[in-house]
Structure 1
Amino acid sequence: MRVWSNRRNVLLKQDDFFKSLYTIVAIENNKIAGYGNIDKNGYLDHLYVHKNYQRRHIATLLCDKLENYNKEIKELTVHSSITAKSFFEKRGYKVINEQTVELDGVNINNYLMKKILL
């Protein structure tokens, strides 16, 4: 969806955005295959794998690292796309509510999901 690809330019203008998050990058053959980040409160903000690297468990590896980054966090949250919902459900996330958000004038359905850590 074009609205997501346009977000790249918005993020590039936010100098402190990535500095405020724990971010990890997956690299394969000197190319970025994917990345993910999480804030200090357990909000999983981004989890992205390039289309050429999908179905290689990269999202799983990234998410494993992000979920374990801070042992003091007892609860994780994510705003999941419809496409990623089943990925997060398999990881133990539960839907809190379905919502529609507006992004650059486009309404997008997503899910607020939560996972309790033991």
Structure 2
Amino acid sequence: MNISISIRQATKEDLPEITALFRSTIINTCSKDYSEKQINVWASAANDTDTWIERINDYYFIVAEQNSLIVGFAYLKKGYYLDGLFVHQDYQRQGIASALLRTIESRVMIEEFPEIRSDVSKTALPFFEAWDYTTIKKQKKSFKGMGFENYIVTKTL
């Protein structure tokens, strides 16, 4: 079921909703792929408000809204690197991530980059594969001293 959403540029006023959505999505959707300790460390990144404000100000950062509620967001770094895409757990499988990804891919093409690249979680990998992303390699990344398995994916545009 697709719901009616609007996509717009994020503002610093969106910060509380963005960080709450980030934390909640990780806690509620990634627990089948990561340990409780990993989830807690990963979700704690929501507390770093300076980093989130920097992303909103410096990156191409968009939010998806339904009835003035932020139901998803995505942000692009360096013009071609998808650094984050999250959808509220109550709004998943409704076309929101796809709409955000199409908007991000369009921006990459407008900026005339030949490909888009991202590091994606085990949880997100099937979504990106369905969108014709190719897995370059499986890797272990460290965040706050905790190791996380994820995948580098790319797509030629």
Q: Tell me the TM-score normalised to structure 1 length.
A: 0.91
> What per-residue deviation string (whole Å, max 9, x for no partner) do you get for residues 45-96 of structure 1?
1100011111111000000000001421111100010011111111111111
Q: Tell me the TM-score normalised to structure 2 length.
A: 0.69
Q: Name the CA distance, whole Å, in 2 between partners of 1:53 and 1:105.
A: 31
Corresponding position: 1:43 with 2:81: yes
Amino acid at match of 1:110: N
> What per-residue deviation string (whole Å, max 9, x for no partner) do you get for residues 2-58 of structure 1?
222211112x12242322211110111221101001124300011000111111110
Q: Name the CA distance, whole Å, in 1 between partners of 2:99 and 2:125.
A: 17
Find runs of 4+ consecutive structure 1 residues off by over 4 angstroms.
none
Q: Name the CA distance, whole Å, in 1 between partners of 2:125 and 2:153.
A: 9
Q: How many residues align?
A: 116
Corresponding position: 1:16 with 2:54: yes
In percent, how many aligned pairs have the same letter?
34
What pairs up with 1:1-118 in 2 under 5 angstroms?
A: 1-10=39-48, 12-14=49-51, 15-70=53-108, 71=110, 72-117=112-157
Q: Which secondary structure state, in structure 2, belongs to the residue aligned with residue 111 of structure 1?
A: strand
Q: Name the CA distance, whole Å, in 2 between partners of 1:58 and 1:29.
A: 14
Structure 2: unaligned runs, 5 residues or longer:
1-38
Structure 1: unaligned runs, 5 residues or longer:
none
Q: Name the CA distance, whole Å, in 1 between partners of 2:101 and 2:72.
A: 11
Amino acid at match of 1:13: D
Tell me: higher relative CO, structure 1 or 2? Use CA pairs within 8 A at least 6 residues apart: 2
Distance 1:64 1:103, change over 3 A: same
Q: Which has the higher strand share?
A: 1
* Counterpart contact for 2:137–2:153, Cα < 8 Å: yes
The two structures, once aligned, show a CA RMSD in angstroms of: 1.3
Q: Which secondary structure state, in structure 1, belongs to the residue aligned with residue 54 of structure 2?
A: coil
Q: Which has the higher helix share?
A: 2
